[in-house]
């Protein structure tokens, strides 16, 4: 990606979809808190939202639809914060209009769509980022540094129990698009867990295959899954288990990564590092004592984020446009976590093991089964939460702690 030639080294960004999270992005940019970026426009299809935005941002141009906004030449970049099914089509239209794109997570609902966005970005030569804000958390960054440094050796096993995404029925009733196959395209795997699935692949790499059980409407009156258990096979024989839920209170957040020469455990805001003096594989076959353990040293690392991760990703995006620096969270990485969740649904719906990367046949089968879910939901034959209140739970433009890493 080339450097953007702007005279004053500041990009003009527009936020498309100014609800819960879009309001926060808009406010941060408007208040001048994002280096290299200023607010050029806002766009929302909801007239009530636009009326509120007109009051809050009287000096910022306001649009009712993405198409009209994308025709505005003075806008350099768009931040897409609509419900997920619009992320991919708006991103593709934005690249065609010559804009840089930062998309909220997930990159799309289906892997095939996410791959089309990556292609569109490459064709346009513009910057494409995705809002995986938890990548900025220094504890995860430290874990990644240790793994990539090589001292821990090969991965053997990883498990992540992240069930502290607790949501009440009122949450699911707060917005018409939430927790529906038509409005959202999935449940906890597509809304809350993308951050964790992304970090899992960022740390452990991509699995070769998954099997999964996704329980739909287990704890809430919804038609999509509110609990999922994924069993993953990684290269070299390593195994993984990923468990997530919105139905446990308070829930657990515990990530374990076991290697030949040590172990990383992230829990309670702390990274516990165990280092073995020798390779376990070597020790196993050279030790003369049956119950011996290799020498082990232990270190506890506590690192707190200095700023909110969303602002850091926004600044990283602006820097990539202005200076050509690599993105912390590039759009193409959005395909990885989405591949795991699409494969998990496919496995759960068919009872089969699903290989990754998803084959064209798997993508087509996933699309067919998702379409069937959507039709059943529309015709009222699938379980849903009933009549949705269709009122978005808009918390204003203030930052909500539930968007940060919670232990
Ligand atoms: N990164 C994070 O921490 C984080 C946090 C919350 C939400 N999100 C993501 O952000 C997205 C939005 O979530 P939310 O909770 O803000 O939803 P929301 O319903 O509060 O807001 C969505 C807004 O988009 C508008 N909209 C819908 N379709 C549109 C279209 N085609 N063009 C323009 N505007 C449109 C709606 O009117 C609404 O104001 C979701 O994809 C969600 O996964 C990410």
What the chain holds in terms of domains, given with CATH numbers, is 11-134+309-331 (3.40.50.720), 136-307+337-378 (3.30.360.10)
Query: Residue 9: which region, alpha, beta or left (left: phi > 0; alpha: psi -120 to 50)?
Result: left
Ligand 1 in contact with 20 (CB < 6 A)?
Answer: yes
Please report the sign of the dihedral spanned by the C-alpha atoms of residue 114, residue 118, residue 119, residue 123: positive
Q: Which letter does DSSP use for residue 358 in this model?
A: P
Ligand 1 in contact with 392 (CB < 6 A)?
Answer: yes
Distance of CA 208 to the CA centre of its chain: 20
b/e per residue, 255-265, with b = 16+ CB within 10 A?
A: bbbbbbbbbbb
Mean pLDDT, the chain cut into blocks of 10 residues (407 residues total): 57 97 98 98 98 98 98 98 98 98 98 98 98 97 98 98 96 87 97 98 98 98 98 98 98 98 97 98 98 98 95 98 98 98 98 98 98 94 50 58 82
Spatial distance between the Cα atoms of 51 and 161, rounded to a whole number of angstroms: 42
Ligand 1 in contact with 385 (CB < 6 A)?
Answer: no
Which protein residue's CA is at the shortest distance from atom 2 of ligand 1?
403
What is the CA(108)–ligand 1 centre distance, in A?
13
- Which of 82, 103, 333 to mutate to test ligand 1, by most ligand atoms within 8 A of the CB atom? 82
**Of 346, 399, 339, nearest to 368 (Cα)?**
346
In the chain, count of helices (H) and strands (E)?
Answer: 13, 15
Ligand 1 in contact with 40 (CB < 6 A)?
Answer: no
- Which of 14, 21, 64 to mutate to test ligand 1, by most ligand atoms within 8 A of the CB atom? 21
Ligand 1 in contact with 66 (CB < 6 A)?
Answer: yes
What is the CA(132)–ligand 1 centre distance, in A?
15
What is the CA(276)–ligand 1 centre distance, in A?
46
Atom number of ligand 1 nearest to Cα 22: 16
Peptide bond into 357 cis (omega under 30): yes
Tally of residues, the chain = 407
- Which of 16, 20, 186, 194 to mutate to test ligand 1, by most ligand atoms within 8 A of the CB atom? 20
What is the CA(294)–ligand 1 centre distance, in A?
50
* Longest pairwise C-alpha distance within the chain: 77
Ligand 1 in contact with 223 (CB < 6 A)?
Answer: no
Indicate the helix (H) or strand (E) that contains 354: strand 354-355
Please say whether the beta carbons of 62 and 39 come within 8 A.
Answer: no
The pLDDT tens digits for 14-36 are 999 999 999 999 999 999 999 99
What is the CA(155)–ligand 1 centre distance, in A?
36
Which protein residue's CA is at the shortest distance from atom 36 of ligand 1?
17
Please say whether the beta carbons of 376 and 242 come within 8 A.
Answer: no
User: pLDDT at position 208, please?
Assistant: 98
Atom number of ligand 1 nearest to Cα 84: 41
Per-residue H/E/C for 246-269: CCCCCCCEEEEEEECCEEEEEECC
- Which of 28, 64, 79, 83 to mutate to test ligand 1, by most ligand atoms within 8 A of the CB atom? 83
Please say whether the beta carbons of 19 and 86 come within 8 A.
Answer: no
Please say whether the beta carbons of 180 and 223 come within 8 A.
Answer: yes
Ligand 1 in contact with 81 (CB < 6 A)?
Answer: yes
What phi, psi does 256 have (nearest 5°)? -125, 135
What's the half-sphere exposure (Cβ side, CA atoms, 13 Å) at 158? Answer: 30
Contacts of 51 (CB under 8 A, 6+ apart): none
What is the CA(392)–ligand 1 centre distance, in A?
9
Beta-carbon count within 10 A of 389 CB:
13
pTM over 0.75: yes
Ligand 1 in contact with 21 (CB < 6 A)?
Answer: yes
User: pLDDT at position 384, please?
Assistant: 55
CA distances from 201 to 4, 79, 197, 258 (A): 31, 24, 6, 15
Ligand 1 in contact with 44 (CB < 6 A)?
Answer: yes
User: pLDDT at position 399, please?
Assistant: 73
Ligand 1 in contact with 191 (CB < 6 A)?
Answer: yes
Ligand 1 in contact with 86 (CB < 6 A)?
Answer: yes
Per-residue H/E/C for 72-116: CCCCCEEEECCCHHHHHHHHHHHHHCCCEEEECCCCCCCHHHHHH
Pairing of strands 270-276, 11-16: unpaired
What is the CA(215)–ligand 1 centre distance, in A?
25
User: pLDDT at position 401, please?
Assistant: 74
What is the CA(42)–ligand 1 centre distance, in A?
13
């Amino acid at each position: 990606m080339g450097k953007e030639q702007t005279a004053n080294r500041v990009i003009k960004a527009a936020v498309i979809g100014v609800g819960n999270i879009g309001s926060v992005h808009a406010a941060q940019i408007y208040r001048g808190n994002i280096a290299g970026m200023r607010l050029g426009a806002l766009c929302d299809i909801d007239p009530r939202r636009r009326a509120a935005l007109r009051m809050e941002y009287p000096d910022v141009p306001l649009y009712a639809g993405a198409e009209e906004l994308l025709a505005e030449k003075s806008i350099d970049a768009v931040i897409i914060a609509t419900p997920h099914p619009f992320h991919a089509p708006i991103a593709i239209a934005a690249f065609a209009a010559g804009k840089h794109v930062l998309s909220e997570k997930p990159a799309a609902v289906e892997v095939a769509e996410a791959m089309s966005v990556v292609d569109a970005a490459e064709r346009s030569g513009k910057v494409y980022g995705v809002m995986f804000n938890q990548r900025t958390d220094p504890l995860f960054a430290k874990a990644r540094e240790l793994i990539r440094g090589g001292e821990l050796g090969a991965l053997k096993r990883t498990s992540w129990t992240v069930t502290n995404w607790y949501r009440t029925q009122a949450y699911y009733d707060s917005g018409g698009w939430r927790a529906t196959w038509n409005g959202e395209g999935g449940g906890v795997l597509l809304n809350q867990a993308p951050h964790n699935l992304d970090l899992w692949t960022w740390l452990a790499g991509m699995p070769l295959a998954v099997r999964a059980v996704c329980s739909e409407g287990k704890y809430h009156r919804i038609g999509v899954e509110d609990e999922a258990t994924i069993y993953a096979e990684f290269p070299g024989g390593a195994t993984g288990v990923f468990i997530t839920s919105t139905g446990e209170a308070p829930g657990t957040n515990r990530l374990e990564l076991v290697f030949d020469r040590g172990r990383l455990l992230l829990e309670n805001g702390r990274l516990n590092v165990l280092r073995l003096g020798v390779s376990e594989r070597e020790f196993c076959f050279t030790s003369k004592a049956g119950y011996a353990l290799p020498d082990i040293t232990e270190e506890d690392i506590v690192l707190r984020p200095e700023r909110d991760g969303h602002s850091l990703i926004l600044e990283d995006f602006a820097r990539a446009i202005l200076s050509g620096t690599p993105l912390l969270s590039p759009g193409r990485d959005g395909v990885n976590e989405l591949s795991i969740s699409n494969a998990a649904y496919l496995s759960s719906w068919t009872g089969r093991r699903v290989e990754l990367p998803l084959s064209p046949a798997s993508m087509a089968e996933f699309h067919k089964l998702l379409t069937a879910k959507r039709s059943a939901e529309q015709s009222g034959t699938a379980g849903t939460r009933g009549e949705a209140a269709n009122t978005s739970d808009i918390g204003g433009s203030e930052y909500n702690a539930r968007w940060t890493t919670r232990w």
